[in-house]
Structure 1
């Protein structure tokens, strides 16, 4: 009996590796309310979770708010320190939400309930009728609650686990792929204003699998490939690549594909007027990083999973996507586009078009994917089959259509769900 088979707990009840080249996931992992509650505590409560990008709050007082791991938070650029501050979005008086709009700029945040007021550094700076508290009101002890926050190359993460490792250690092999994204843009990265937000009726882990799955592309996205052919894209090179386990549940699908990349692989869709500029970008990448690394950054596509719920699609556009489960069969998704600051207008236009045309909620890929995931969730209700099979490629070096990247996610998930409180 293998070590995996000997383990006990919720995780090991749902993820079985072996005997032989078999890897199975019990379908109740996608339908059980008990599993969902355990995930909120043991997965989302004990990992580093992506909150946002520093470029979203460039100026003092700029802020964004969003839920992370099911908890309301907001991120603000400190007016005095210039630091990226992340606070729990709850008043220290009686608990009401303090930041009540999704983004903006403000020197102070005032709770609408009793008007307690906090500055952008989280300090309590105003209490109506403060004399009613006598001399015992200690403002310094009543500032906003800070979330533990670390940033890697502009990507801001938070955690609710006081004992977790530091962020660079947690990111493990995923750091290299974040570096590819940032270095390909010469370090001058920004989130383009505007987001995609949508939801669907299926389990969040199905979207994890789908986001790094090369096996479904040809069948599920047949319409998109026909669209590319109609526009004159040469599909003869096909889609070839590898999948990798990057440690700590992170994984990547890395491949070459027929479409162009704004940094820095030209194709006719970008227009003749951008050809010279893209060639210059490629030459600059080569000068700075060497020919081999420049080739990787310019020509290879990457679907990167940073466990548990951050997907970076570094493809014909660079999409940053997170998703928050609200029930075993419901997920809310938010996506942003990442781009170089000062990019040529025609390249920015092509990048945004790709962002919407392929990965947008009304694009070619996303509706196909959501239909597939909701269909899976509906199929689980049929019964008669207890396990999903995720064994593809176990007997060979992982290829783009294999499932090693999904197994990396599920192994980490199993460990966390087995953990004792």
Structure 2
């Protein structure tokens, strides 16, 4: 067991002899905490922007908010990925008000300044009206401090002193590789068309916890498990029987993962009766393709290792009955916006894609059999915190005495909170 020194701050009590881990409930309700998070967490970490498959051709762009800031995720004319801040260098208006498309230039509707997809100012009305010394090259669109990508996943940071992305990702790269390897390198993975966007009346850190919390699965997602059982899947309804080879790991830099072999099917290559007899050949063909591309040993790993991963602070990759990319960002201490996408092999057959979409939407979609349960649980927590505003402590101690805690213990939450507290400069 790794020996982590105890720590007791204004927000976290990480205690020893006996082990106990407590988180102040004030961190979920306090406006000053959120202000510090925006400065110390979201402005300094690497934050997920999008997947390269969303902008496949030169000129393609997607406009979205990343860490609360409007950005343009695009490819320039040479085919290189760019991230530009969506705010005109003249008076600040958005230079693009479309959600997505393809264009060589972004033109601000306010005064018609135009920028290419490298962010350079290329034209403006009445240029001669500006004073001597005015240079267009000094007025390009602002950009993040750095942009990086790993296996198609694109991140940005606003921190001039940030470590390289590959260092920041640490051991999370292993699980990003497992995700990307569902497809051959020659075709890659793609974000499927369509985006899930919704909001929740709860603190963003509750979703960071929930996304890899195995302890709640049996009581909260009973309906989903009962439906799968009624369709023929072997589901016992208990954590120790249904989650095989279950573990939780600290991946470094606040990133966490829980791994297991779950009772449900996986469209990439693990058929279960609930998927329907007519899909069995399709799923088995997916497995044959994995073996052909990666060999038997890695194919087994890709097909059968379910994992829920949080890349700190706000990116979730859940590679379970389908693959979801999910991000979330706070608006207030008690309200967040959530965005999610489905990731799939680009060369998946129409039959296999149908199986994937049904698996994805039945559990992971915002109107599925599980996501609404999670949303209600987290909103219930947020309402409960009003019983004693700014007071009380959450207990996150489960599994602290174990050398190898399973996914239904809470090592993954403690990993998140230790990194969060470090960045927030928690005072003793």
Give me the TM-score of the superposition, normalised by structure 2: 0.93
- Residue deviations 1:373-413, cap 9 Å, x none? 01111111102961000000011121121000010000000
- Residue deviations 1:13-33, cap 9 Å, x none? 101101321000000011111
Distance 1:400 1:5, change over 3 A: closer
Partner of residue 208, structure 2: 208
2:422 aligns with one of 410, 415, 418: 415
Q: By how many angstroms is 1:94 displaced?
A: 1.0
Tell me, yes or no, if structure 1 residue 110 matches structure 2 residue 117.
Answer: no
Q: By how many angstroms is 1:327 displaced?
A: 0.5
1:339 aligns with one of 340, 344, 361: 344
Partner of residue 43, structure 1: 41
| Alignment of structure 1 residues 88-127 onto 2, 5 Å | 88-127=85-124
| Alignment of structure 1 residues 254-403 onto 2, 5 Å | 254-383=259-388, 386-396=392-402, 397-403=404-410
CA distance in 2, matches of 1:399, 1:4: 22
Partner of residue 235, structure 1: 235
Any conservation in 1 of the 2:267–2:359 contact (CA below 8 Å)? no
Any conservation in 2 of the 1:270–1:346 contact (CA below 8 Å)? no
Q: By how many angstroms is 1:251 displaced?
A: 0.3
Q: By how many angstroms is 1:279 displaced?
A: 3.0
CA distance in 1, matches of 2:372, 2:284: 34
More displaced stretch, 267-276 vs 161-170:
267-276
CA distance in 1, matches of 2:327, 2:104: 28
More displaced stretch, 19-28 vs 274-283:
274-283
CA distance in 2, matches of 1:15, 1:272: 50
- Residue deviations 1:132-153, cap 9 Å, x none? 1255331112111122200001
Partner of residue 9, structure 1: none
Q: By how many angstroms is 1:246 displaced?
A: 0.5
In structure 1, runs of 5+ residues without a counterpart are 7-11
| Alignment of structure 1 residues 171-190 onto 2, 5 Å | 171-187=169-185, 188-190=188-190
CA distance in 1, matches of 2:131, 2:387: 65
CA RMSD across the alignment: 1.8
More displaced stretch, 82-91 vs 379-388:
379-388
Distance 1:194 1:256, change over 3 A: same
Q: Which secondary structure does the structure 2 equivalent of 1:333 belong to?
A: strand
CA distance in 2, matches of 1:204, 1:255: 25
Q: By how many angstroms is 1:229 displaced?
A: 1.4
Any conservation in 1 of the 2:182–2:189 contact (CA below 8 Å)? no
CA distance in 1, matches of 2:360, 2:281: 23
Any conservation in 2 of the 1:170–1:248 contact (CA below 8 Å)? yes
Partner of residue 157, structure 2: 159
More displaced stretch, 258-267 vs 277-286:
277-286
Q: By how many angstroms is 1:270 displaced?
A: 4.0
Distance 1:132 1:331, change over 3 A: same
CA distance in 2, matches of 1:394, 1:115: 59
Any conservation in 2 of the 1:61–1:106 contact (CA below 8 Å)? yes
How many residues align? The count is: 413
Q: Which secondary structure does the structure 2 equivalent of 1:164 belong to?
A: coil
Q: By how many angstroms is 1:345 displaced?
A: 1.2
CA distance in 1, matches of 2:127, 2:103: 23
CA distance in 2, matches of 1:173, 1:200: 30
Tell me, yes or no, if structure 1 residue 149 matches structure 2 residue 141.
Answer: no
1:247 aligns with one of 243, 246, 252: 252
Q: By how many angstroms is 1:99 displaced?
A: 1.4
Partner of residue 66, structure 1: 64
Give me the TM-score of the superposition, normalised by structure 1: 0.94
CA distance in 2, matches of 1:271, 1:235: 16
Any conservation in 2 of the 1:185–1:263 contact (CA below 8 Å)? no
Q: By how many angstroms is 1:333 displaced?
A: 0.2
Any conservation in 2 of the 1:42–1:419 contact (CA below 8 Å)? no
Partner of residue 11, structure 2: 14
Any conservation in 1 of the 2:183–2:347 contact (CA below 8 Å)? no
Any conservation in 1 of the 2:11–2:426 contact (CA below 8 Å)? no
- Residue deviations 1:314-349, cap 9 Å, x none? 011100000010110001000000000121212211
Q: Which secondary structure does the structure 1 equivalent of 2:258 belong to?
A: strand
CA distance in 1, matches of 2:7, 2:366: 40
CA distance in 1, matches of 2:228, 2:414: 31
More displaced stretch, 18-27 vs 330-339:
18-27
Any conservation in 1 of the 2:184–2:293 contact (CA below 8 Å)? no
Q: By how many angstroms is 1:210 displaced?
A: 0.6
2:7 aligns with one of 5, 20, 31: 5
